[in-house]
Amino acid sequence: MTTQIPSNDEDIDDQLYNRQRYVLGDDAMKRLRQHHVLIINAGGLGIEIAKNVVLAGVHSITLQDTNNTNMLDLATQYYLHEENIGKNRAECSLEKLRALNDYVKVHVSTKSLSDCTNEYFQQFTCIVVTECTLDEMKRINELCRINNIIFIMADIYGVFSRCFVDCGNQPFTVFDKDGEQSKEVFINHISPEGIVTVAGDERHPFQDNDIVLFRELIGLENLNKCERTVKDLNIHQFSIGDISSLGGEYKRGGIAREVKQQIQINFKSLNEQIINPRILTIDGSDYWTKNITGEIPQLIYVHVIMLAISEFKQLYQRLPEPIEINEESDQIRLTNLAKKYLNELISKDHSVNEDRFNHLIKYLLYSAKGSFAPLCSAMGGFVGQQVLTSITGKFTPIQQW
């Protein structure tokens, strides 16, 4: 692909980025061009993330890997072929990544993580970690927090996956929390106490602390063009506080429109989140924390088992083998590590389903050494989206698993 590079770094190629520009907007696109992203390890997941970030149009990306290509890599890393076996994965992928987008500078590093100093990491604004041990993740996360660098960790083991986001120890600003058009509702009545009832059977879309702007009110003209803070009461009513001092009495009409606000989010370190995680539930409707009692959901078992995998890799310098190969010795090791994390996470008010826990460990052992190509594709897209969200402040990043 050959494109003409704009003379000004802030110019946006509308032919290449027209759909992305429509979604993100010019301000976010310009912020995107200022970022330098490091992606650690070029396996199936790492290369998917790298591809998506390159296509998005960051300033530069560095793919860092010390691993040489093996047969397992060929199942999910589509830039590698049999002739690449024994050669560095990142170096073999370099030219194909560069060909995706002439605007993005793509580099490769074969430096070992143990040789990477604080000064090395300081050249990046976002670091994405894959296929690392638990100690490596913790070390890089702490360096990122010291230097105000966005940290994202992602892994796939068989059909299990995870993603963790930490945007630093300073409050993170989200410029547009959902990217949607401002919501508005027609008004049926406003009481002197500030109870707003929406028209018909319509549900209002507002949440606590949203800001709304009023217009076209008859009888309460002094409230027109005024911004008020919302307190959600029920699906048809919300409160804006006492308005009796404004004078007048509601007669008819009126529209309440959401005012987009910047919000700030606080993030905790990986070390803190390991034993006190805040995990987005499967349906995306809420977050789970250890303060929620009762039966432990399946995703918590997956969380501790994935942590156990990372520690297993650190202790034995390999991934666990399928049960049939080693007469269950790896299953015992992995189970003990997972139970250690589970015991740190739960309290007497939690109910543990031992059968479910043990079944999940067995399922993970069957496939832990490999990756599922469609899952790499889906997860790579999701993590790439988290990179864009975190570096532009457009939309809200996950908090934090």
How far apart CA 338 and CA 353 sit, in angstroms, is 14
Mean pLDDT is lowest, of 53-67, 73-87, 149-163, 199-213, for 199-213
Specify the pTM.
0.81
Assigned token pair, 349: 């008010």
Which DSSP symbol is given to 248?
A: -
**C-alpha distances in Å from residue 365, one per residue of 197, 320, 332:** 56, 7, 11
385 or 293, greater pLDDT: 385
Q: Which amino acid is at 274?
A: I
210-236 average pLDDT score: 94
Residue 364, pLDDT > 80, answer yes
- For 25: left if phi > 0, alpha if psi spans -120 to 50, otherwise beta; the answer is left
Longest dimension (CA), the chain: 81
Mean pLDDT is lowest, of 53-62, 101-110, 130-139, 319-328, for 319-328
Give the DSSP per-residue string, 110-125: ---GGG--HHHHTT-S
How far apart CA 99 and CA 55 sit, in angstroms, is 10
SS3 321: coil
Residue 136, pLDDT > 50, answer yes
Task: Name every residue whose Cβ is closer than 8 Å to that of residue 60 and which is 6 or more positions away in sequence.
Answer: 36, 37, 104, 105, 106, 107
How far apart CA 214 and CA 51 sit, in angstroms, is 45
pLDDT of residue 369: 85
Residue 200, pLDDT > 90, answer no
The 10 Å Cβ neighbour count of residue 108 is 19
Residue 290, pLDDT > 70, answer no
How far apart CA 312 and CA 318 sit, in angstroms, is 7
pLDDT of residue 7: 38
pLDDT of residue 285: 54
* 299-313 per-position pLDDT tens digit: 889 999 999 999 999
Distance of CA 130 to the CA centre of its chain: 14
241-255 average pLDDT score: 92
pLDDT of residue 384: 97
Is the Cβ–Cβ distance between 365 and 337 less than 8 Å? no
pLDDT of residue 73: 94
358-373 average pLDDT score: 88
pLDDT of residue 261: 85
170 or 5, greater pLDDT: 170
7-12 average pLDDT score: 53
* 10-63 per-position pLDDT tens digit: 566 666 676 776 567 777 788 888 999 999 999 999 999 999 999 999 999 999
The H or E element containing residue 60 is strand 60-64
234-254 average pLDDT score: 93
Residue 252, pLDDT > 80, answer yes
384-389 average pLDDT score: 96
pLDDT of residue 227: 93
Is the Cβ–Cβ distance between 74 and 82 less than 8 Å? yes
Give the per-residue SS3 of 262-302.
CEEECCCCHHHHHHCCCEECCCCCCEECCCCCEECCHHHHH
pLDDT of residue 352: 83
pLDDT of residue 345: 84
Q: Which amino acid is at 181?
A: Q
Task: Name every residue whose Cβ is closer than 8 Å to that of residue 163 and which is 6 or more positions away in sequence.
Answer: 152, 153, 154, 379, 382, 383, 386, 398, 401
The 10 Å Cβ neighbour count of residue 354 is 8
User: Could you tell me the pLDDT band of residue 2, with boundaries at 50, 70 and 90?
Assistant: very low
Main-chain phi, psi angles of 69, to 5 degrees = -65, 135
Helix axes 329-345, 354-367, angle to 10 degrees: 130
244-271 average pLDDT score: 92
Residue 120, pLDDT > 50, answer yes
* 81-108 per-position pLDDT tens digit: 999 999 999 999 999 999 999 999 999 9
Q: Which amino acid is at 9?
A: D
Mean pLDDT of the chain: 89
pLDDT of residue 167: 96
Assigned token pair, 280: 């987005």
Assigned token pair, 309: 């995998």
10 or 191, greater pLDDT: 191
Domains of the chain: 14-175+374-392 (3.40.50.720), 184-259 (2.40.30.180), 277-369 (no CATH)
Give the DSSP per-residue string, 158-209: BTEEEEEEE--SSPEEESBSS-PPPPEEEEEEE-TT-EEEESTTPPP---TT
370-379 average pLDDT score: 92
Whether residue 400 is preceded by a cis peptide bond, meaning omega within 30 degrees of 0, is yes
Mean pLDDT is lowest, of 64-68, 161-165, 341-345, for 341-345
Return the closest-CA partner of residue 167 out of 395, 386, 379, 384: 386
